[in-house]
Amino acid sequence: MAKKLGLVLGSGAARGWAHVGVLRALNEIGLKPDVIAGCSVGALVGGAHLIGALDEFEAWARELKPLSALERFTLKVDRGGLIDTAPAFKAFRGYDKNIEDLPIKFAAVAADLATGDEIAIRTGSVIDAARASSAIPVVFHAVQHGNRWLVDGALANPAPVSLAREMGADIVVSVDLNAVPRVLQRFDAPPPSVPAVVTEAAPIKSGLTGAVAKLIEDTQISIKRQFDFAKARADAAPHLFETAYASADIFQMHLARARARIDPPDLLLQPDMRDAMPTAFDRADEFIEEGRTALLAQRGKLETLLQL
């Protein structure tokens, strides 16, 4: 009996382009998941793929730059957030299906504001499920689902391996986009190894050639620049938004690691996405290739797990 393949698509905002690359790579090697469990952007990409709207979603997301995004979303302080995403999702309502009518099993993870529980949405509208799963707290409006108010599933389970297994997956491939967080590395600069700040070029001994003298002068200038840069970095303070996204990354990294120790996947893909800003939707091609490369690099192991 063939083993059922489960695909877990984790949270990560614009990093979610990598999920598109993973799906393309699976198609490239002739594999189709039997189960998809998504969280946040992973639910968006997985859901769009299953309702046949991935190309349209990709075209829409590629245009999401700060100014154009304001035209697509409605700024309205309500339901615990600043932005109402409902108008943006209207463009995809024509593709919408009920989860129970999809060709394969699908579920989206969200977090319950009332209890903090992890909620697996397995029935009803795909679009509504994905919207609830990606409702970033404070930024986007919370989404009402039945008698619950739901927000981003990354608060509870950024890469829901346990859910994929509950849905019947024998072999689980998990795509963790938060494994390498975008921390503020500029505050972790090692002290310069040079002894002192050089403010003037040292006297050149007589008899040295012009080339050697120039080399010494250039070295002194380079040392001074290193000290100036180190001092500027040491004196700098964190900015509001960079602190917010770094904190979110760090939180999701530790939560994903903790969950992976409890519910380890059979194959873990961890593309290095530390250089990806949360709003870097315009870097689609680069991030898609990251995901594709990450999957293809593990093709042999995956095929062995599935005993192809």
Catalytic residue IDs: 40, 152
Instruction: Determine contact, residues 181/274, Cβ cutoff 8 Å.
Output: yes
From the list 270, 278, 239, 267, the residue with the least C-alpha distance to 253 is 270
From the list 64, 106, 105, 101, the residue with the least C-alpha distance to 85 is 64
From the list 257, 57, 26, the residue with the least C-alpha distance to 157 is 257
Going by their DSSP bridges, the two strands 143-145 and 148-152 should be labelled as antiparallel
Q: What are phi and psi of 286, to 5 degrees?
A: -65, -45
